[in-house]
A and B are shown apart, each in its own frame.
Chain A
Amino acid sequence: MSMAKILLIDDEASFLEVLSKRLETRNLTIATALSGEAGLKILAKDHAVDVVILDVKMPGLDGIETLQMIKKNFPLVEVVMLTGHATVETAIEGMKLGAFDYLMKPCDIDLLVQKVQEAKEKKIKHEEKIVQAQMKEITGRMA
């Protein structure tokens, strides 16, 4: 059983390819998209995606814009930002907009997997809370 379903969004095909292979060997299910727009389409179709790994600098919709769209349309999906810039400002902005964390490229694969796991755990907790709240609501209604 896969640990989590990941969507990788990056404009570098080669990077996507190798990273997805590496992550797959680490027991993760991977979907890839070469742009923010493509990523959003996949998210809309595939509700199993737990975590999005998102490059900040891309042509078309850039990382920050894509993040905003994801958070707006799929609020439960966690996002880990990957940035080539050492711009703390961009990272801070991303975090403010609801990204789970950020890493600088090139990043350590184990660190990345660890962040993904944490994000997934957060998402699970989040979902549990929602389920509990729904149950409370249902039980409350029943009472």
Chain B
Amino acid sequence: MAQCSVVQGETQRQQADKRLEYAKFRRAMTLVVTAVSMTPLLLLSAVLYFNYHAVYESKVIDHLEAVVERHALAIDEFLFERRQNVHMQVDSYPYEQLRDETLLYDRLRKMQSNYSNDYVDLGLVDENGLQMAYAGPFRLLQADYGTAEWFRQAIAEERYISDVFSGMRGAPHFIVTAQGHRTDGRAFVLRATIDFAHFNERVRHIRMGTTGLAFLINRHGEFQTGLRPDEIVDREALARIIGINFAEGVPVHLEKTNAQNQAMIYVAYPLKIKDWILVFQQDKHDAFEHLYSAQLISVSVLLLGGLAIIGTALALIRRMVQRISVAEQDQEVLQKQVVETGKLAAIGELAAGIAHEINNPLAIMVEHAGWIGDLMKAENTAAMKGYPEMDNSLREIEIQGRRCKEITHKLLSFARRTDSRVQETQLNDLIEEVIEVSAQKARYGNTTINLELDPALPVVRISPTEMQQVLLNLVNNAIDAMNKEAGAITIRTRSEDAWAVIEVEDNGQGIPEANMARIFEPFYTTKPVGKGTGLGLSICYGIIDKSGGTINVSSTVGVGTTFTVRLPVLPAVPAAPAVEA
């Protein structure tokens, strides 16, 4: 048993080596296949990703710029109209008429109804900044704007729009003015206040996504429109925007990460009528939401596709390697079989040579013994005391000579057939020949071989040499399986339907259940190293299978084993039925 485990350990180590080799091969193949299939995919993905990214980003920016420009133009137009409205009043009415608050109120109402409710009030301011006439909800008659920043600019320019400021009324607003001249040449200013809330709404309704918002700043970065408390604008970004040297009618965009570490996109557009800048700000993530979701999808597809490729490669290569290993094993078996057959043929030839060489001296010996016998007949043998003994000895030489002759002739006839030509073969004769050869080995193993041959067994088509090999293997295995005093092997033949059946039964140690499934596997052996190749039964299986037959085994540990070979009786069945064992 110890020897058995040594053999199995050896085989296991060889198998482990093989497995390692195959695993290496598999890994290399997987790597190559994966690399080959993934590289173009990744390259394509990268190219598409960057191109798409760039195109989409520029589209989004273009779109934002277009929107901002459109709104900026609208605001420009709005401011232009307001300025025109105010200027028209100055053109239409002289200073004296405008001092009449009734007219001023009338004009205010007209402007409010004709244009919009943006107008809050109208005021006439003389060259010293004193409000000479006023129409509106506040009590601002005689208000002195002489020191106000806007007045200083308004009195100097024909048309003027102020920044947003709180001024005297304590509410944010801005002023649109038009300059006029009295008959005596002194300048005056007609000012209209624009409702900040309305104006603010105009700008604030430019919204996009969830984070997009628009606002106006002046060149100092001061807000001209309001923000909700939750809306944060990055001061540094504003500083950069007012630092931009804008070309006429060209929107500018920039990206900056704010203090909250959010990437923001800014699109700035300078107004034409006033030195204000319309700024649109949006979280980059929000602006490129579609792009990012598309990216997410493509990355997921890429990942899943990559996984699928790797998985498929793994599965395919596993199958391929399995096939290769099976093919390799088959080939190895075939090779061993060829070697075994060749060996058998060589041994046969050698045996034939030896048998022949022995035969000649044997013949001479026998002839000489015969000659002595002949000579003795001519003598007066009655007088010889030892003649009966001598006669006995001569006869014995003759008998033993004949025995030798039989042995050499058997050897010759056995060894003669080394070809694998299929021919009609009588199995009974073949069995008897094989037994003659194996009988000696059996005798040494204290084993008797019994034959129960069916004389009516039909012939089968098989190579006698190969069938000899099968029978020899089975009988030798049976002899080897004996580990008791009186082993007995019984070989039976019988015909069963269209089958010729050979049973080789022994009363040896039997085959353990665990080994049963593997006994026909090549290289599987429980014999000690050097004693068995593990090929005997697999070669038997191969030969019988090729001949369209089946070979089965049934065994009980401690009781014995029976191998059953079934061969198709003529005509041969080409397809081999499945083997049950």
19 more A-B contacts (CB under 8 A) besides A12-B364, A105-B405?
A12-B363, A14-B364, A15-B360, A18-B367, A19-B367, A21-B374, A22-B370, A22-B374, A25-B374, A57-B356, A84-B363, A85-B412, A87-B412, A105-B359, A105-B360, A105-B362, A106-B364, A106-B365, A106-B405
**CB-defined contacts of A25 to chain B, threshold 8 Å:** 374, 378
**CB-defined contacts of B356 to chain A, threshold 8 Å:** 57, 84-85
Q: List 20 A-B contacts (CB under 8 A).
A: A12-B360, A12-B363, A15-B363, A18-B370, A22-B374, A25-B374, A84-B359, A84-B363, A85-B356, A85-B412, A86-B409, A87-B412, A104-B405, A105-B362, A105-B405, A106-B359, A106-B364, A106-B365, A106-B367, A109-B370
A25 to chain B, nearest CB (A): 5
- Name the interface residues of A6-22: CB closer than 8 Å to any CB of B: 12, 14-15, 18-19, 21-22
Given A15-B360, A84-B359, A22 and B412 touching (CB < 8 A)? no
How far does the alpha carbon of A86 sit from the alpha carbon of B359 in the complex, in Å? 11
A22, B367: Cβ atoms closer than 8 Å: yes
- Name the interface residues of A56-73: CB closer than 8 Å to any CB of B: 57
A15, B364: Cβ atoms closer than 8 Å: yes
- Name the interface residues of B78-95: CB closer than 8 Å to any CB of A: none
**CB-defined contacts of A22 to chain B, threshold 8 Å:** 367, 370-371, 374
A87, B360: Cβ atoms closer than 8 Å: no
> Taking the complex as formed, is B431 at the interface, i.e. its CB lies under 8 A from any CB of chain A?
no
**CB-defined contacts of A84 to chain B, threshold 8 Å:** 356, 359-360, 363
**Closest residue to A57 on the B side, CB-wise?**
B356
How far does the alpha carbon of A21 sit from the alpha carbon of B371 in the complex, in Å? 7
> Taking the complex as formed, is B368 at the interface, i.e. its CB lies under 8 A from any CB of chain A?
yes
> Taking the complex as formed, is B460 at the interface, i.e. its CB lies under 8 A from any CB of chain A?
no
Closest 9 CB pairs of A and B: A106-B363, A106-B366, A105-B363, A84-B359, A86-B409, A18-B367, A15-B364, A18-B371, A86-B412
How far does the alpha carbon of A74 sit from the alpha carbon of B363 in the complex, in Å? 29
**CB-defined contacts of A21 to chain B, threshold 8 Å:** 371, 374
**CB-defined contacts of B405 to chain A, threshold 8 Å:** 104-106
- Name the interface residues of B361-395: CB closer than 8 Å to any CB of A: 362-368, 370-371, 374, 378
**Closest residue to B405 on the A side, CB-wise?**
A106
**CB-defined contacts of A57 to chain B, threshold 8 Å:** 356
How far does the alpha carbon of A106 sit from the alpha carbon of B401 in the complex, in Å? 8
> Taking the complex as formed, is B441 at the interface, i.e. its CB lies under 8 A from any CB of chain A?
no
**Closest residue to A25 on the B side, CB-wise?**
B374
**CB-defined contacts of B371 to chain A, threshold 8 Å:** 18, 21-22
**Closest residue to B357 on the A side, CB-wise?**
A84
**Closest residue to A89 on the B side, CB-wise?**
B416
> Taking the complex as formed, is B413 at the interface, i.e. its CB lies under 8 A from any CB of chain A?
yes
Given A18-B368, A19-B367, A109-B370, A104 and B362 touching (CB < 8 A)? no
B409, A104: Cβ atoms closer than 8 Å: yes
Q: Could you mark each residue 114-149 of chain B with 1 if its beta carbon is under 8 Å from any beta carbon of chain A, else 0?
A: 000000000000000000000000000000000000
Which of A14, A18, A85, A106 sits near B362, CB closer than 8 Å?
Answer: A106
**CB-defined contacts of B412 to chain A, threshold 8 Å:** 85-87
**Closest residue to B366 on the A side, CB-wise?**
A106
**CB-defined contacts of B364 to chain A, threshold 8 Å:** 12, 14-15, 18, 106
How far does the alpha carbon of A33 sit from the alpha carbon of B426 in the complex, in Å? 43
**Closest residue to B401 on the A side, CB-wise?**
A106
**Closest residue to A107 on the B side, CB-wise?**
B363
Q: Could you mark each residue 439-475 of chain B with 1 if its beta carbon is under 8 Å from any beta carbon of chain A, else 0?
A: 0000000000000000000000000000000000000
**Closest residue to B367 on the A side, CB-wise?**
A18
Given A22-B371, A106-B401, A86 and B366 touching (CB < 8 A)? no
B66 to chain A, nearest CB (A): 106
**CB-defined contacts of B402 to chain A, threshold 8 Å:** 106
| Residue of B364, B365, B409, B412 contacting most chain A CB atoms (<10 Å) | B364
B375 to chain A, nearest CB (A): 8
